[in-house]
Amino acid sequence: MDKKTDPNPPFLWCFLEIFSCEGGIQSYVKDILDAYIDLIEPGAKFRGPKEFSSEILLLRDAPGCPNPYENSAIKFHYLQTKPPAFGRLRLAYTLLSCLLQHRPQRVFCGHINLAHLVQLTCKPLGVPYTVLTYGKEVWQPLPPKYRHALQQADQIWTISRYSRDKACQANQLNPEQFRLLPCMVDGNRFTPGEKPQNLIERYNLQNSKVLMTVARLWSGDIYKGVDVTIRALPQISQAVPNVKYLVIGRGDDQPRLANLAQELGVADRVVFAGFVPTEDLVEHYRVADAYIMPSQEGFGIVYLEAMACGIPVLSGDADGSADPVQDGKLGWQVPHRDPDAVAKATIEILQGNDQRCQGQWLRQQSLAEFGQDAFRVQLQKLLDCSVVS
């Protein structure tokens, strides 16, 4: 990677799965792999290995899963079994074999559910291990064996200061163990552009100021704040009569949200777009005049996506979104369950008089901290510090 580090340090990575399902953790891991391969194969991504630099153990993925990294300098071990209970035995055997045969510099444990196994295998052999955490999975008190595995790790990676602090408080962890590897946004994919007329017509948004949220609409998980934004709409519409609210996402909470909009007299202002494929999100961000999500996030990649498209954002004021909005430098932060605060800040955004509404500046600032280059630099620093001298 650089002169401080062997260009091909032998690392070993353990994950639940990467390719057999989609989600925030899987997307984050793929970003790590993209950056990692760029570092170990500079200028020749996916050229095919002469010898493997690292190995990845996958508990739930099977051979044949679409894997764009197959021809990289990483060797993949697919350990899915039927019945699934045998998978952990297979993982334990493969992990131990790799440790004894190759003596990797470090093991990276990609999920808390694997941390106990990694600890039991690595500690007796004196192999250091790092646990990667994403967010809510470590915010509550964990069973003792998992908590102990975190406490015994010499490094814990996480995505935000908030996630670090929540994990420390819940599980008696030392903040000095933590290293930050924030989420990243692909600035080549998420770019500014004109409002797409086909979407304006599809959602009946002609001549409207458009607020937007991308969120799961689950009744058991309302922290995204869609209901709070709907409650703010009557006040917003007094100042901005042509305002509409585009909600992207699906879930069993949509009927309640639709009824709430009806009760408040703003049903004609709320558009439920349903599920939108990832590849179509950029065009939907470009429809928006403001991205509004008074939430409680571990990080909030959607804020970065919106800002990379030049769209101003509103977030909660006591969560991991403080990192992507840079403590209010790039976006508005409000108490996440306060409709009055949401309304006041949204009106300010739609008036457009603040620097945080300047799309090109917003994009430049967000990519400087959370674009692909910044992510690669931060990963390199963490890996440099992971090599045993």
- 11-184+371-384 and 197-369 share one fold: yes
Separation CA 253–CA 215 (nearest Å): 11
CB 269 within 8 A of CB 244: yes
Torsion of CA 194, 216, 299, 1, to 10 degrees: -80
Other beta carbons less than 10 A from residue 30's beta carbon: 15
The CATH number, out of the four listed (3.40.630.20, 3.40.50.2000, 3.30.565.10, 3.40.640.10), of the domain defined by the range 11-184+371-384: 3.40.50.2000
The CATH number, out of the four listed (3.50.30.10, 3.40.980.10, 2.160.20.10, 3.40.50.2000), of the domain defined by the range 197-369: 3.40.50.2000
Handedness of CA 113, 114, 120, 124 (dihedral sign): negative
Other beta carbons less than 10 A from residue 182's beta carbon: 21
Separation CA 293–CA 223 (nearest Å): 9
Domain borders along the chain are 11-184+371-384, 197-369
In the block, which residue shows the tokens 């032998």?
A: 10
- pLDDT tens, per residue, the chain with 389 residues: 443 444 444 799 999 999 998 888 899 999 999 999 888 876 544 344 445 678 999 999 999 889 999 888 899 999 999 888 899 999 999 999 999 998 899 999 999 999 999 999 999 999 999 999 998 899 999 999 999 999 999 999 999 999 999 999 999 999 999 999 999 999 999 999 999 999 999 999 999 999 999 999 999 878 899 999 999 999 999 999 999 999 999 999 999 999 999 999 999 999 999 999 989 999 999 999 999 999 999 999 999 999 999 999 999 999 999 999 999 999 999 999 999 999 999 999 999 999 999 999 999 999 999 999 999 999 999 998 888 65
